Amino acid sequence: MATAKVNTTGDRQPSRWKRNLVLLVLAVAGTALAFSWNSLGAQARVSTAYGARVGCVCRFVSNRDLNSCKGDIAVAGLGRTASLMFLSDDAESKSLTASVPLLASARATYTKERGCQLEPWED
């Protein structure tokens, strides 16, 4: 006859249903992310292009501070990607890069002849 072991040390192990619940929540979240990844990528691509162009004009045409330009983009109504966007400028080449990590990046460069122009997207 089999005997059950009794835990006499007082340590409690997490129950299986809690572990399974956590795994289920992670699986649902992963599935939701997988289904929305393409739309997130497309929204991030458009948002970074907008951010790079507007940021370039703000920074190199209006000669404003980069932090001031970030404020302009934050209120532009770009949805959830605006809060994830990072801006960086290169004063020497007069270019500004907007990026959303792991999703998209765009660069706009200022020239006196053409103003701020986006670099072509790479597919």
d(CA 85, CA 88) in angstroms, rounded, equals 10
In a domain, 20, yes or no: no
In a domain, 22, yes or no: no
pLDDT single digits (tens) 88-101: 999 999 999 999 99
In a domain, 91, yes or no: yes
pLDDT single digits (tens) 18-38: 888 888 889 888 887 776 666
In Å, how far are 22, 37, 38, 57, 75 from 115, measured between CA atoms? Answer: 52, 33, 32, 8, 23
d(CA 21, CA 12) in angstroms, rounded, equals 18
Which residue stretches of the chain are H helix? 16-56, 66-74
Average pLDDT over the chain reads 83
pLDDT single digits (tens) 54-71: 999 999 999 999 888 888
Q: Which domain holds residue 54?
A: 28-116
Instruction: Provide the number of structural domains found in the chain.
Output: 1
